Amino acid sequence: MSITNSGTDNPFGVREHENTSISTTAINNISLGPTYLTSIDISSANADPTFLKLYNTTSAVTVGTTAPDMIIPIPASWVGTVHVEAYDSDGDKLKGLYFSNGLAYTATEDAGTAGTTAPGSAVYVLIRHED
Amino acid sequence: MAGTTLSTATATGAAFSSVGQNSAENATYANLKASSATLYKIAVDNTAGAGAVYEKLYDSATPTVGTDGPEVIIPALAAQKTVVTFAKAGGSGGVANFGTALSAACVQEKGTAGTTSPAASVVTTIAYT
Protein backbone atom coordinates (compact mmCIF):
# COMPACT_ATOMS: atom_id res chain seq x y z
CA MET A 1 0.00 0.00 0.00
CA SER A 2 1.33 3.38 -1.00
CA ILE A 3 -0.50 6.50 0.13
CA THR A 4 0.07 9.98 -1.21
CA ASN A 5 -1.68 13.12 -0.09
CA SER A 6 -1.55 16.39 -1.99
CA GLY A 7 -0.26 19.34 -0.04
CA THR A 8 -2.61 21.25 2.21
CA ASP A 9 -1.28 24.63 1.20
CA ASN A 10 -2.44 24.76 -2.43
CA PRO A 11 -4.41 27.96 -3.15
CA PHE A 12 -7.45 26.21 -4.64
CA GLY A 13 -8.23 24.04 -1.66
CA VAL A 14 -8.49 20.98 -3.90
CA ARG A 15 -6.89 17.90 -2.46
CA GLU A 16 -6.11 14.45 -3.77
CA HIS A 17 -5.59 11.33 -1.74
CA GLU A 18 -4.10 8.38 -3.60
CA ASN A 19 -3.92 4.83 -2.35
CA THR A 20 -2.45 2.20 -4.67
CA SER A 21 -3.88 -0.75 -2.77
CA ILE A 22 -6.75 -0.11 -0.39
CA SER A 23 -7.36 -2.67 2.30
CA THR A 24 -9.36 -3.33 5.42
CA THR A 25 -6.98 -1.14 7.34
CA ALA A 26 -8.97 2.03 7.91
CA ILE A 27 -7.37 5.21 6.65
CA ASN A 28 -8.56 7.77 9.14
CA ASN A 29 -9.31 11.46 8.68
CA ILE A 30 -7.54 11.99 5.36
CA SER A 31 -9.01 15.48 5.20
CA LEU A 32 -7.74 16.59 8.62
CA GLY A 33 -11.17 18.08 9.24
CA PRO A 34 -14.36 18.93 7.33
CA THR A 35 -14.25 18.46 3.57
CA TYR A 36 -16.34 18.16 0.42
CA LEU A 37 -16.06 14.89 -1.53
CA THR A 38 -16.13 15.46 -5.29
CA SER A 39 -14.96 12.32 -7.11
CA ILE A 40 -13.15 9.01 -6.81
CA ASP A 41 -11.05 7.39 -9.52
CA ILE A 42 -10.97 3.61 -9.16
CA SER A 43 -8.99 0.82 -10.75
CA SER A 44 -9.67 -2.65 -9.41
CA ALA A 45 -7.62 -5.73 -10.18
CA ASN A 46 -9.74 -7.73 -7.78
CA ALA A 47 -11.64 -10.67 -9.24
CA ASP A 48 -14.44 -10.14 -6.73
CA PRO A 49 -16.60 -7.10 -5.96
CA THR A 50 -15.15 -4.65 -3.47
CA PHE A 51 -16.99 -2.12 -1.33
CA LEU A 52 -15.38 1.25 -0.60
CA LYS A 53 -16.77 2.49 2.70
CA LEU A 54 -16.55 6.15 3.65
CA TYR A 55 -16.98 7.53 7.14
CA ASN A 56 -17.72 11.03 8.39
CA THR A 57 -15.52 10.99 11.44
CA THR A 58 -12.23 12.10 12.87
CA SER A 59 -12.18 9.12 15.20
CA ALA A 60 -10.50 5.82 14.45
CA VAL A 61 -12.82 3.59 12.45
CA THR A 62 -13.43 0.04 13.61
CA VAL A 63 -13.84 -1.83 10.34
CA GLY A 64 -16.82 -4.17 10.45
CA THR A 65 -18.41 -2.29 13.33
CA THR A 66 -18.45 1.45 12.62
CA ALA A 67 -21.42 2.25 10.38
CA PRO A 68 -20.31 3.79 7.08
CA ASP A 69 -21.95 6.98 5.86
CA MET A 70 -21.46 6.01 2.25
CA ILE A 71 -20.73 2.79 0.37
CA ILE A 72 -19.43 2.80 -3.18
CA PRO A 73 -19.66 -0.54 -5.00
CA ILE A 74 -16.69 -1.58 -7.11
CA PRO A 75 -17.36 -4.46 -9.50
CA ALA A 76 -14.66 -7.02 -10.25
CA SER A 77 -11.90 -5.67 -12.49
CA TRP A 78 -13.63 -2.28 -12.80
CA VAL A 79 -11.96 0.92 -13.92
CA GLY A 80 -13.79 4.23 -13.83
CA THR A 81 -14.73 7.33 -11.90
CA VAL A 82 -17.47 7.97 -9.39
CA HIS A 83 -18.63 11.58 -9.55
CA VAL A 84 -20.25 13.01 -6.42
CA GLU A 85 -22.33 16.18 -6.60
CA ALA A 86 -24.51 18.00 -4.08
CA TYR A 87 -27.05 20.78 -4.47
CA ASP A 88 -28.81 23.01 -1.98
CA SER A 89 -32.55 23.57 -1.81
CA ASP A 90 -32.28 26.42 -4.32
CA GLY A 91 -30.68 24.07 -6.83
CA ASP A 92 -27.27 25.69 -6.51
CA LYS A 93 -24.37 23.30 -6.86
CA LEU A 94 -22.17 22.92 -3.81
CA LYS A 95 -18.50 22.04 -3.75
CA GLY A 96 -19.37 18.39 -3.17
CA LEU A 97 -20.85 16.09 -0.55
CA TYR A 98 -19.98 17.55 2.82
CA PHE A 99 -18.24 15.45 5.45
CA SER A 100 -18.67 17.71 8.43
CA ASN A 101 -16.22 15.96 10.72
CA GLY A 102 -13.59 14.35 8.56
CA LEU A 103 -13.23 11.74 5.84
CA ALA A 104 -12.06 8.22 6.56
CA TYR A 105 -12.34 5.08 4.46
CA THR A 106 -11.69 1.41 4.15
CA ALA A 107 -12.52 -1.38 1.70
CA THR A 108 -13.76 -4.91 2.11
CA GLU A 109 -15.43 -7.57 0.01
CA ASP A 110 -18.49 -7.35 2.26
CA ALA A 111 -21.60 -5.24 1.69
CA GLY A 112 -23.07 -3.22 4.57
CA THR A 113 -21.45 -2.39 7.88
CA ALA A 114 -20.18 -5.82 8.83
CA GLY A 115 -17.31 -7.78 7.36
CA THR A 116 -13.57 -7.52 7.32
CA THR A 117 -12.65 -9.53 4.23
CA ALA A 118 -9.79 -7.80 2.48
CA PRO A 119 -9.83 -7.36 -1.30
CA GLY A 120 -8.11 -10.32 -2.96
CA SER A 121 -6.08 -8.13 -5.30
CA ALA A 122 -5.04 -4.51 -5.45
CA VAL A 123 -7.71 -1.82 -5.72
CA TYR A 124 -6.44 1.68 -6.51
CA VAL A 125 -8.32 4.82 -5.53
CA LEU A 126 -7.73 8.53 -6.04
CA ILE A 127 -10.10 10.49 -3.81
CA ARG A 128 -10.63 14.15 -4.67
CA HIS A 129 -12.01 16.48 -2.04
CA GLU A 130 -12.06 20.19 -1.31
CA ASP A 131 -11.75 22.33 1.77
CA MET B 1 -43.27 -6.50 3.86
CA ALA B 2 -44.05 -6.19 0.19
CA GLY B 3 -42.06 -3.71 -1.82
CA THR B 4 -43.57 -0.62 -3.32
CA THR B 5 -43.56 -0.05 -7.04
CA LEU B 6 -41.58 2.74 -8.59
CA SER B 7 -42.73 4.59 -11.63
CA THR B 8 -40.44 3.79 -14.52
CA ALA B 9 -39.60 5.37 -17.81
CA THR B 10 -37.31 4.69 -20.72
CA ALA B 11 -34.50 7.14 -21.24
CA THR B 12 -34.05 7.65 -24.94
CA GLY B 13 -30.50 7.99 -26.14
CA ALA B 14 -28.95 7.11 -22.81
CA ALA B 15 -26.82 4.10 -21.96
CA PHE B 16 -29.34 3.01 -19.39
CA SER B 17 -32.80 1.79 -20.28
CA SER B 18 -34.79 2.38 -17.13
CA VAL B 19 -35.26 5.18 -14.65
CA GLY B 20 -37.01 4.47 -11.39
CA GLN B 21 -38.37 7.45 -9.50
CA ASN B 22 -39.99 7.37 -6.11
CA SER B 23 -41.43 10.63 -4.83
CA ALA B 24 -41.78 9.37 -1.27
CA GLU B 25 -38.90 7.01 -0.62
CA ASN B 26 -39.02 5.35 2.79
CA ALA B 27 -37.97 2.33 4.80
CA THR B 28 -40.26 0.04 2.84
CA TYR B 29 -38.11 -1.35 0.07
CA ALA B 30 -38.98 -0.90 -3.57
CA ASN B 31 -37.95 -3.61 -5.99
CA LEU B 32 -36.82 -1.96 -9.20
CA LYS B 33 -35.72 -5.09 -11.00
CA ALA B 34 -36.12 -8.75 -10.15
CA SER B 35 -33.05 -9.86 -12.13
CA SER B 36 -29.42 -8.74 -12.51
CA ALA B 37 -28.92 -5.00 -12.85
CA THR B 38 -26.30 -2.38 -13.57
CA LEU B 39 -26.42 0.97 -11.77
CA TYR B 40 -25.47 4.12 -13.66
CA LYS B 41 -26.66 7.08 -11.64
CA ILE B 42 -28.62 7.91 -8.54
CA ALA B 43 -30.08 11.17 -7.29
CA VAL B 44 -31.41 11.52 -3.75
CA ASP B 45 -33.39 14.73 -3.24
CA ASN B 46 -33.70 15.52 0.45
CA THR B 47 -34.21 19.25 0.01
CA ALA B 48 -37.43 19.01 2.05
CA GLY B 49 -35.70 17.27 4.92
CA ALA B 50 -34.38 18.72 8.16
CA GLY B 51 -32.04 15.80 8.79
CA ALA B 52 -29.77 13.52 6.77
CA VAL B 53 -31.16 10.46 5.02
CA TYR B 54 -29.42 7.43 3.55
CA GLU B 55 -30.51 5.77 0.33
CA LYS B 56 -29.63 2.08 0.35
CA LEU B 57 -29.55 -0.31 -2.59
CA TYR B 58 -29.70 -4.08 -2.21
CA ASP B 59 -28.79 -7.03 -4.41
CA SER B 60 -32.06 -8.71 -3.55
CA ALA B 61 -35.66 -8.61 -4.71
CA THR B 62 -36.89 -8.90 -1.14
CA PRO B 63 -34.34 -7.31 1.22
CA THR B 64 -34.87 -7.02 4.93
CA VAL B 65 -34.18 -3.34 5.54
CA GLY B 66 -32.13 -2.84 8.67
CA THR B 67 -30.66 -6.34 8.55
CA ASP B 68 -29.34 -7.07 5.05
CA GLY B 69 -26.08 -5.35 4.12
CA PRO B 70 -26.67 -2.77 1.39
CA GLU B 71 -24.42 -2.81 -1.66
CA VAL B 72 -24.69 0.95 -1.94
CA ILE B 73 -25.31 3.75 0.55
CA ILE B 74 -25.78 7.30 -0.68
CA PRO B 75 -26.26 10.02 1.94
CA ALA B 76 -28.26 13.17 1.32
CA LEU B 77 -27.74 15.83 3.93
CA ALA B 78 -30.48 18.04 5.33
CA ALA B 79 -31.95 20.36 2.69
CA GLN B 80 -29.64 18.95 0.02
CA LYS B 81 -29.72 16.75 -3.04
CA THR B 82 -26.94 14.27 -3.75
CA VAL B 83 -26.19 13.00 -7.25
CA VAL B 84 -23.72 10.15 -7.79
CA THR B 85 -22.65 8.97 -11.24
CA PHE B 86 -20.80 5.71 -11.85
CA ALA B 87 -18.78 6.21 -15.03
CA LYS B 88 -16.93 3.13 -16.24
CA ALA B 89 -13.83 3.95 -18.24
CA GLY B 90 -14.51 3.97 -21.94
CA GLY B 91 -18.09 5.09 -21.43
CA SER B 92 -19.37 1.56 -21.64
CA GLY B 93 -21.31 1.17 -18.45
CA GLY B 94 -21.92 1.66 -14.75
CA VAL B 95 -21.46 -0.75 -11.87
CA ALA B 96 -22.89 -4.24 -12.33
CA ASN B 97 -22.89 -5.24 -8.69
CA PHE B 98 -26.45 -6.50 -8.68
CA GLY B 99 -26.31 -10.11 -9.77
CA THR B 100 -29.69 -11.07 -8.34
CA ALA B 101 -31.95 -8.02 -8.29
CA LEU B 102 -32.05 -4.32 -7.48
CA SER B 103 -34.09 -2.91 -4.61
CA ALA B 104 -34.00 0.42 -2.80
CA ALA B 105 -35.02 1.91 0.52
CA CYS B 106 -34.35 5.14 2.38
CA VAL B 107 -33.88 5.57 6.12
CA GLN B 108 -32.44 8.02 8.61
CA GLU B 109 -29.66 5.69 9.75
CA LYS B 110 -26.31 5.07 8.09
CA GLY B 111 -24.73 1.63 7.80
CA THR B 112 -26.75 -1.56 7.67
CA ALA B 113 -28.99 -1.06 10.68
CA GLY B 114 -31.98 1.24 11.04
CA THR B 115 -35.53 1.29 9.76
CA THR B 116 -36.61 4.87 10.46
CA SER B 117 -38.27 6.38 7.41
CA PRO B 118 -37.38 9.95 6.44
CA ALA B 119 -39.48 12.54 8.24
CA ALA B 120 -40.02 14.52 5.05
CA SER B 121 -40.52 13.54 1.44
CA VAL B 122 -37.40 12.21 -0.29
CA VAL B 123 -37.41 11.94 -4.07
CA THR B 124 -35.07 9.31 -5.47
CA THR B 125 -34.21 8.79 -9.12
CA ILE B 126 -32.18 5.76 -10.16
CA ALA B 127 -30.85 5.02 -13.65
CA TYR B 128 -30.14 1.36 -14.29
CA THR B 129 -30.41 -1.47 -16.74
Report whether A125 contacts A61 (CB < 8 A): no
CA distance B67 to B34: 20
Q: Do A80 and B88 touch (CB under 8 A)?
A: yes
CA distance B31 to A60: 35
Report whether A79 contacts A64 (CB < 8 A): no
Facing residue for A75 by CB, picked from B77, B97, B111: B97
> A9: Cβ–Cβ under 8 A, 6 or more apart, which residues?
none
pLDDT of residue B91: 76
pLDDT of residue A103: 96
Question: In terms of Cα–Cα distance, which of A65, A53, A68 is closest to A22?
Answer: A53
CA distance A36 to A129: 5
pLDDT of residue A9: 59
Asked if pLDDT for residue A31 goes beyond 90, the answer is: no
> What are the C-alpha distances in Å from A62 to residues A24, A57, A98, A101, B90?
10, 11, 22, 16, 36
CA distance A75 to A84: 18
Residue B30 confidence class, pLDDT cut points 50, 70, 90: very high
The burial class, CB within 10 Å (0-12 / 13-18 / 19+), for B113 is middle
Closest Cα in chain A to B65: A112
Asked if pLDDT for residue B3 goes beyond 50, the answer is: no
Tell me: the pLDDT tens digits for B36-93? 999 999 999 999 999 999 999 999 999 999 999 999 999 999 999 999 999 999 877 8
Q: How far is B66 from chain A (nearest CA, A)?
A: 10
Q: Do A113 and B81 touch (CB under 8 A)?
A: no
ipTM associated with this complex = 0.94
Residue B10 confidence class, pLDDT cut points 50, 70, 90: very low
Q: Do B71 and A73 touch (CB under 8 A)?
A: yes
The total number of residues shown for chain A amounts to 131
pLDDT of residue B36: 96
